[in-house]
């Protein structure tokens, strides 16, 4: 099976490379995870989230989680589901990027004829500051938009246009404490400022993008005035909660699985050895296992889904490397 955009050096490839190690810790429970994911598949080939309707967003996570576990869904059904979206006309930015990821996940060449059109729709979200915005008509980019856009280009086998523009945008939008925010006009804040608005997800997205586009060697980045990986790593580590997971932002009352997966993955990219956090992280992930083969997003969540299940695999995969 030939795959589009599954290089181990791609954003998707690096996440899958980690998630594939999760069965080392899941053991026999891996089968339950596969079974849960397959129950999310609808008859037309898409996967549902928390409603009965198929959604490209949840289909991305289900396909990647299944691939990480060495399972393959019914590829022909998935292909037919994706063909319903054509070249992405009518999709918002996030779902257009999901369409690109889904084509990469099933490893089909069927996306070739619509590749340029899909990427053209994604490129229409390029902002004057060099980044990518997730909304319609937005004048400012954000790290999440850059992450999705770069991922989509990689998934469809292309290089993102004006890579230096993306790098410059992220360099200018980093706050003085080493974090990033997805919010517009977040402003700058020192690491001790109570009004610091950096977020774990935005910071993780920026780290992933910069890792793909520039060297993360501290001396090179500091010399270029881009970003200090050590400072960013410390900011992320400060988001670790006593309960074992990572917080979404300073002052957030409880950790969640998304923030934890993003932080662990970003810290791994930054070269931080997480052995000293391994047991606490394992306890946190275990506390979100719902018994049906899925992971929940946070302690108050009453059901798991394919998105959080993939995040659970991603965290466990990174921890398995420490075993």
Angular region, 248: left φ>0, alpha ψ -120 to 50, beta rest: alpha
Could you tell me which residues come within 8 angstroms of residue 247 by beta carbon, excluding any fewer than 6 positions away? 200, 239, 240, 241, 254, 255, 256, 259
Answer yes or no: is 6 within a domain.
no
* Predicted model pTM: 0.91
Answer yes or no: is 142 within a domain.
yes
Could you tell me which residues come within 8 angstroms of residue 316 by beta carbon, excluding any fewer than 6 positions away? 19, 21, 22, 25, 26, 282, 285
Token pair for 322: 């420490």
Q: Note the pLDDT of residue 184.
A: 61
Q: Is the dihedral of CA 122, 109, 98, 172 positive or negative?
A: negative
Angular region, 185: left φ>0, alpha ψ -120 to 50, beta rest: left
Is there a contact between 13 and 20 (Cβ–Cβ < 8 Å)?
A: no
Burial class (CB in 10 A: 0-12, 13-18, 19+), 276: exposed
Q: Note the pLDDT of residue 200.
A: 98
Answer yes or no: is 63 within a domain.
yes
The residue ranges of the chain whose pLDDT is under 70 are 1-8, 108-110, 136-138, 184-196, 215-225, 323
Answer yes or no: is 102 within a domain.
yes
Q: Give per-residue pLDDT as tens, 193-231.
A: 445 579 999 999 999 999 999 854 445 554 455 778 999
Q: What is the CATH number of the domain that holds 42?
A: 1.50.10.20
The number of domains in the chain is 1
Q: Note the pLDDT of residue 59.
A: 97
Domain span holding position 243? 11-320
Answer yes or no: is 1 within a domain.
no
Answer yes or no: is 3 within a domain.
no
Q: Note the pLDDT of residue 5.
A: 41
Report residue 305: phi and psi, to 5°: -150, 180
């Amino acid at each position: 099976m030939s795959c589009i955009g599954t290089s181990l050096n791609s954003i998707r490839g690096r996440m899958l490379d980690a998630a594939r190690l999760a069965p080392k810790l899941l053991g026999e429970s891996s089968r339950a995870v596969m079974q849960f994911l397959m129950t999310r598949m609808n008859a037309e080939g898409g996967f549902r989230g928390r409603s009965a309707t198929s959604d490209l967003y949840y289909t991305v996570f289900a396909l990647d989680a299944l691939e990480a576990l060495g399972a393959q869904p019914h590829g022909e059904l998935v292909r037919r589901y994706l063909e319903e979206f054509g070249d992405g006309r009518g999709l918002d930015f996030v779902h257009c990027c999901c369409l690109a990821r889904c084509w990469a996940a099933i490893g089909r060449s069927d996306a070739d004829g619509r590749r340029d059109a899909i990427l053209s729709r994604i490129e229409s979200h390029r902002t004057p500051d060099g980044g990518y915005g997730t909304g319609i008509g937005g004048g400012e980019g954000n790290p999440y938009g850059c992450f999705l856009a770069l991922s989509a280009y990689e998934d469809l086998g292309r290089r993102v246009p004006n890579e230096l523009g993306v790098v410059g945008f992220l360099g200018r939008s980093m706050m003085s404490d080493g974090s990033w925010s997805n919010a517009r006009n977040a402003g700058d804040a020192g690491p001790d400022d109570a009004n610091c608005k950096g977020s774990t997800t935005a910071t993780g997205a920026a780290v992933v993008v910069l890792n793909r586009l520039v060297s993360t060697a501290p001396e090179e980045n500091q010399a270029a005035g881009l970003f200090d990986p050590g400072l960013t790593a410390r900011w992320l580590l400060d988001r670790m909660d006593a309960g074992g997971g990572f917080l979404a932002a300073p002052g957030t009352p409880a950790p969640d699985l998304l923030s934890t997966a993003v932080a662990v993955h970003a810290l791994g990219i930054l070269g931080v050895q997480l052995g000293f956090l391994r047991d606490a992280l394992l306890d946190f992930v275990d506390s979100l296992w719902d018994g049906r083969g899925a992971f929940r997003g946070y302690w108050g969540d009453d059901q798991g889904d394919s998105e959080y299940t993939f995040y659970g695999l991603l965290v466990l995969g990174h921890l398995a490397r420490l075993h």
